[in-house]
């Protein structure tokens, strides 16, 4: 009797729980962020719910007014819809302000410049967040982070933003007043793209690119998809580019596809870049340095677009280090289906880098400077990858030339997917650490069910 009552009770509880799953409404929550393969889902969770003063807008006029009258600790929530700006731009000049979609769905809130609005969002105050929205067709830069005579612009967060077809660089970061700097920002979990439809609108000998930063220190650029920055004529800037004296940049777990140049630290051989009183590059003996320190790790860089290869400049370089002093380039995968000029290259006398554990389909090119090389694999065949011809650069279990072939580096504790490494006796070369196979039991033991009276 006790047994029958117990089973009856358990059955009733089960039916109640199953029924509740269909009857009770789900708890309100933000949608999960849609991330492409190779971008870490675990590091791209929705932002916390807003706090402080909250203003909700659903017209361009309301949006413009809310930005212009915002007080510190205000969150401006934009209702779903397409907002035709017609020349209106948003200048975030108040510190501690957040601009984001009310729904958390970046594809549901579109601010359209239609190549009339010059810059859709300008960030000129510290501790500003821009999140969960789509920006398209700015004449210049969809997002421009810069300083003013009020001082530095610090701690900008650009998160879960989709930028489509900018007229110039998608995200521009630079000082606008001498002696002030745009430092310690983050660009994360975003998608920046130049499409075939937008490419004809690029001007000035292909003056475009993904992220372009000047004289900025301490930025983190992670878990983004950046693609399509090239022109039939002229040479685009990089998908991710920091120069003119930038310092201590972290570029990690990004996926870059079909860009004329992938990731760049430095570009100019000389100029008026930012300098630092602590002399972070003594080996340059006071000479010009275009990027100080920093690390480029766990990135996928891929090119296969026939139009890119047929363009005037082709696929120039996957990772490019020019007058870059103290940079570490660790555990990246650079693959192209046709030969680039360089998979990874370093250039100019004051370049002084470490290049370790990288996996490339073509060449490492020495164009001057100093490089310490270790555990890199050149001329890697596409057969090492799940789908090398189409950009899935995760390793196959048969990729013995890369698996367990890397050196342990204190600076590299995870892979492009945010999974810990090493798995096995040593880390794998490149950005992907091969997972353990799923557990499949082979021996079953049947145990009797024992019920107490």
pLDDT at 3 over 50: no
User: Taking a C-beta distance cutoff of 8 angstroms, is the pair 128, 95 a contact?
Assistant: yes
Output the pLDDT for position 25: 34
pTM of the complete model: 0.90
pLDDT at 23 over 90: no
Cβ atoms < 10 Å from Cβ of 379: 10
Pure H helices in 153-217: none
Q: How far is CA 339 from CA 259, 317, 358, in A?
A: 14, 10, 17
Token pair listed for 44: 């791209």
- Tell me phi and psi for residue 64, to 5 degrees: -60, -45
User: Taking a C-beta distance cutoff of 8 angstroms, is the pair 416, 299 a contact?
Assistant: yes
Cβ atoms < 10 Å from Cβ of 210: 33
Helix (H) or strand (E) holding 10: helix 2-23
Portion of the chain with pLDDT greater than 70, in percent: 87
pLDDT at 8 over 50: no
Give every CB contact of residue 421 below 8 A, 6+ residues apart in sequence.
412, 413, 414, 415, 427, 428, 433
- Tell me phi and psi for residue 255, to 5 degrees: -115, 120
36 falls in which pLDDT band (50, 70, 90)?
low
Mean pLDDT for 400-416 is 98
Q: Closest Cα to residue 112, out of 77, 83, 78? A: 83
**For residues 417, 421, 422 and 424, what is the CA-based torsion angle, rounded to 10 degrees?**
-60
What is the C-alpha separation between 337 and 27, in angstroms, rounded?
46
42 falls in which pLDDT band (50, 70, 90)?
confident
What is the C-alpha separation between 98 and 108, in angstroms, rounded?
18
> Tens of pLDDT along 58-110?
999 999 999 999 999 999 999 999 999 999 999 999 999 999 999 999 999 99
The answer to whether the bond into 294 is cis (omega within 30° of 0) is no
The answer to whether the bond into 422 is cis (omega within 30° of 0) is yes
Output the pLDDT for position 16: 35
Give me the residue spans of the domains in the chain: 194-437
């Amino acid at each position: 009797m006790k047994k029958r009552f117990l089973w009856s009770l358990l059955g009733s509880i089960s039916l109640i729980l199953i029924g509740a799953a269909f009857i009770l409404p789900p708890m309100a929550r933000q949608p999960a962020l849609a991330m492409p393969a190779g971008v870490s889902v675990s590091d791209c969770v929705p932002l916390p719910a807003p706090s402080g003063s909250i203003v909700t807008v659903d017209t361009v006029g309301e949006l413009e007014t809310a930005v212009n009258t915002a007080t510190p600790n205000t969150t401006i929530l934009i209702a779903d819809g397409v907002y035709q700006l017609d020349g209106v731009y948003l200048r975030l000049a108040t510190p501690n302000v957040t601009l984001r979609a009310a729904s958390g769905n970046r594809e549901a809130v579109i601010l359209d410049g239609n190549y009339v609005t010059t810059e859709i969002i300008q960030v000129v105050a510290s501790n500003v967040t821009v999140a969960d929205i789509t920006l398209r067709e700015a004449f210049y830069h969809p997002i421009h982070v810069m300083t003013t005579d009020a001082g530095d612009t610090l701690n900008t967060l650009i998160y879960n933003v989709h930028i489509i077809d900018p007229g110039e660089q998608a995200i521009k970061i630079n000082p606008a007043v001498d002696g002030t700097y745009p430092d310690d920002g983050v660009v994360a979990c975003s998608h920046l793209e130049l499409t075939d439809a937008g490419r004809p609108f690029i001007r000035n000998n292909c003056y475009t690119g993904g992220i372009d930063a000047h004289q900025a220190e301490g930025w983190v650029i992670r878990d983004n998809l950046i693609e399509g920055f090239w022109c039939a004529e002229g040479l685009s800037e990089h998908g991710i580019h920091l120069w003119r004296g930038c310092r201590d940049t972290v570029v990690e777990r990004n996926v870059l596809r079909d860009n004329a140049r992938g990731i760049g630290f430095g570009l100019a051989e000389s100029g008026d870049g930012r300098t630092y009183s602590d002399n972070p590059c003594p080996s340059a003996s006071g000479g010009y340095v275009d990027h100080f320190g920093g690390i480029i790790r766990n990135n996928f860089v891929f090119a296969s677009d026939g139009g890119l290869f047929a363009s005037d400049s082709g696929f120039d370089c996957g990772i490019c280090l020019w007058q870059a002093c103290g940079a570490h380039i660790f555990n990246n995968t650079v693959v192209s289906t046709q030969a680039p000029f360089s998979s990874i290259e370093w250039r100019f006398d004051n370049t002084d880098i470490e290049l370790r554990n990288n996996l490339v389909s073509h060449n490492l090119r020495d164009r001057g400077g100093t490089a310490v090389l270790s555990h890199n694999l050149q001329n890697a065949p596409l057969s090492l990858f799940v789908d090398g011809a189409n950009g899935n650069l995760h390793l196959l279990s048969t990729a013995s030339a890369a698996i367990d072939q890397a050196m342990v580096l204190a600076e590299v504790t995870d892979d492009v997917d945010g999974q810990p490494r090493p798995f096995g006796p040593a880390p794998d070369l490149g950005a992907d650490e091969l997972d353990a196979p799923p557990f499949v039991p082979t021996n079953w033991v049947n145990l009797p069910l024992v019920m107490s009276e």
